[in-house]
Structure 1
Amino acid sequence: MRAGEQASRTRSWRLPHGALGAPGSSFSRVHVAPNSSGSREGAEPRSVKGAALPAVVFLHGLLGSKTNFNSIAKALAQQTGRRVLTVDARNHGDSPHSPDMSYEAMSQDLQGLLPQLGLVPCVLIGHSMGGKTAMLLALQRPELVERLVAVDISPVETTSSSSFEAYMAAMKAIDIPDEVPRSRARKLADGQLSSVVQDMAVRQFLLTNLVEVGGRFMWRVNLDALTQHLDKIMAFPLQQESYPGPTLFLLGGNSKFVHPSHHPEIMRLFPRAQMQTVRNAGHWVHADRPQDFMAAIRGFLV
């Protein structure tokens, strides 16, 4: 898309590989949702008492991409008048691949990206892996984060990892002939995944990563790096300093990712934390109950 396109479309642009943050930094695209004033994309949001409202930045989870939050980002921008961006993590979506998949590296990516785009301090909303990246950034550089939302994740080791390991093994095993139509390729991939991934919604989520390159279908996520560093992704770097800003832990009522035993560490690192549970939602809270998710975010932003 070019900058001159209509405000009803989401804006995107590419930043050169390695140009942000630490070497190998990999946030290559950001999306700006239109705001409710009807102005052109990328325009400043409405202001309160002469000051622009902090932008909202969404960080997706493992095996996801910035597109996971597209509709929510657009709606939130229209409803709040804020600038809203969604970003691809390294080794995901349109971002470059890297052998380093540590939270320190992903936090460094943001430390380069956000000030360059004039987005600090911002409201940082991260789901799962993105939530851990957001938490680490807030702990390391609290001045960059006005407030924080961690979606169905906590700052401790995640034990619900076996499913992701199985998902990635199933994705690696996919075999699709060259030069088949996209619809046929998706159907073949879906059929091959179904023996391991019974949940159709999860298969549809995984299939968003299937792309065609030169007549061949492949996964745009860096499965080798993600598989190699899965233990690191499930862990969380030990931190001593706390984050002083307002923090919301938004949990799925049907999810087991955040356990009551995590609460002491949550309160140690995030003393102003509040917890809210979205009923009838699993780990992908924003996909399962988008309206309830939006209402919780809007309530926290007020």
Structure 2
Amino acid sequence: MGERRILTGADDNALVATAFVGGRTPVLLLHGGGQTRHAFEDAAERIGEAGFAAFAVDQRGHGESAWPANGGYAFADYARDVARLSDQLEAEFGRRPVAVGASLGGIASLYALGVEPHVLEGLVLVDVTPRMDPGGVKAVIGFMAERAEEGFATIEEAADAIAAYLPHRQRPSSLAGLRKNLRQGEDGRWRWHWDPRFITGPRSVNADEQATERALLAASSRLAIPTLLVRGRSSELVTEEHAREFMALAPQAEYVDIAGARHMVAGDRNDVFTDAIIAFLRRRFGGGAAAA
């Protein structure tokens, strides 16, 4: 069992994490947009067992973490949270963390490195690159927005919506995991466990997409830390061309292409995904040290 921790974001917003501390090298696992820390908890537990200090975090506006009063959900806001989290983990462990970021988490981490190149010791980008397929991005945002306000009458109805969106993934026999990604309102309806302003507010992740892309391209070209790009081979967002472009910008980076996985790599092939992360961490950060 992991330890529930309360960390602090850039706006003094509470960020809830599950920690698996098996060593003194911190690893910060940041989920994708619309997800919660539970998407990475299995991987975090294995990373902790491998001799690292893994923290799976609910990002601002998601899961149990606070919804900022100012509605600050631009990528720059998430990047500021990465920097603040890095400061806290450095204070506890004596070194900056390695960030493992899926989609939103990867963009936030790369954006933060563009502002401060030494804010992280290492970077794992999980099916995210500076440029991604516009149609794939539109489909993801569309699915998230479709029932964000209305919600679902039952958890089973939410499961039906996910099954229709992800027909390649076997429907789980238990809905306990899905329940962690939903919240029940006073009206009895179930809604996603994230603030709708994340995609509909005045300072949402949809703000100034071109400026974000330019910032990520510039940050990629200046990367000087151990970096791994993990792509789902059947990704609907990151094409082989996008991956090649990133590797040309950051030629020191490593690359893993996971068969049988789409954009949500950890959900599709969590075993293979986690093996690749642990191998990278051991190869580039000494294999983890035993906890003191």
Map 1:1-302 to 2 at 5 A: 9-15=1-7, 20-21=9-10, 23=11, 25-35=12-22, 45=23, 52=24, 54-78=25-49, 80-98=50-68, 99-117=71-89, 118=91, 120-159=95-134, 160-167=136-143, 168-176=145-153, 185-191=154-160, 193=161, 197=165, 199=167, 201=169, 208-213=180-185, 216=188, 217-228=190-201, 229-232=204-207, 236-239=212-215, 240=218, 242-263=222-243, 265-267=245-247, 269-301=249-281, 302=283
SS of 2:101's equivalent in the other structure is strand
Partners of 2:185 and 2:257 in 1: CA distance: 41
Partners of 2:43 and 2:132 in 1: CA distance: 28
CA contact (8 A) 1:103 1:237 kept: no
Partners of 1:190 and 1:263 in 2: CA distance: 32
Partners of 2:58 and 2:45 in 1: CA distance: 16
After superposition, the Cα gap between the structure-2 partners of 1:268 and 1:197, relative to the gap in structure 1 and judged at 3 Å, is closer
Could you tell which deviates more after superposition, 131-140 or 121-130?
A: 131-140
Following superposition, the deviation at residue 63 of structure 1 comes to 0.7
Following superposition, the deviation at residue 281 of structure 1 comes to 1.1
> How many residues of Structure 1 are paired with residues of Structure 2 in the alignment?
263
Partners of 1:232 and 1:297 in 2: CA distance: 31
After superposition, the Cα gap between the structure-2 partners of 1:65 and 1:84, relative to the gap in structure 1 and judged at 3 Å, is same
Which amino acid in structure 2 is aligned with residue 173 of structure 1? E
Structure 1 length as normaliser, TM-score? Answer: 0.76
Could you tell which deviates more after superposition, 264-273 or 286-295?
A: 264-273
Could you tell which deviates more after superposition, 158-167 or 277-286?
A: 158-167
Partners of 2:276 and 2:231 in 1: CA distance: 11
Following superposition, the deviation at residue 259 of structure 1 comes to 2.4
Partners of 2:169 and 2:186 in 1: CA distance: 28
After superposition, the Cα gap between the structure-2 partners of 1:143 and 1:202, relative to the gap in structure 1 and judged at 3 Å, is farther
Q: Percent identity?
A: 22
CA contact (8 A) 2:31 2:59 kept: yes
CA contact (8 A) 2:132 2:242 kept: no
Which amino acid in structure 1 is aligned with residue 155 of structure 2? R
Following superposition, the deviation at residue 280 of structure 1 comes to 1.2
After superposition, the C-alpha distances for 1:21-70 in whole angstroms (9 at most, x for unaligned) are: 2x3x53521221142xxxxxxxxx1xxxxxx4x21110000110111111
After superposition, the Cα gap between the structure-2 partners of 1:104 and 1:155, relative to the gap in structure 1 and judged at 3 Å, is same
For structure 2, which runs of at least 5 residues remain unmatched after alignment? Answer: 284-292
CA contact (8 A) 1:27 1:89 kept: no
Following superposition, the deviation at residue 232 of structure 1 comes to 3.6
CA contact (8 A) 1:251 1:276 kept: yes
After superposition, the Cα gap between the structure-2 partners of 1:233 and 1:218, relative to the gap in structure 1 and judged at 3 Å, is farther
CA contact (8 A) 2:34 2:62 kept: yes
Structure 2 length as normaliser, TM-score? Answer: 0.78
Query: Is the radius of gyration larger for structure 1 or structure 2?
Result: 1
CA contact (8 A) 1:158 1:234 kept: no
After superposition, the Cα gap between the structure-2 partners of 1:85 and 1:262, relative to the gap in structure 1 and judged at 3 Å, is same
Partners of 1:195 and 1:299 in 2: CA distance: 32
For structure 1, which runs of at least 5 residues remain unmatched after alignment? Answer: 1-8, 36-44, 46-51, 177-184
Following superposition, the deviation at residue 213 of structure 1 comes to 4.9
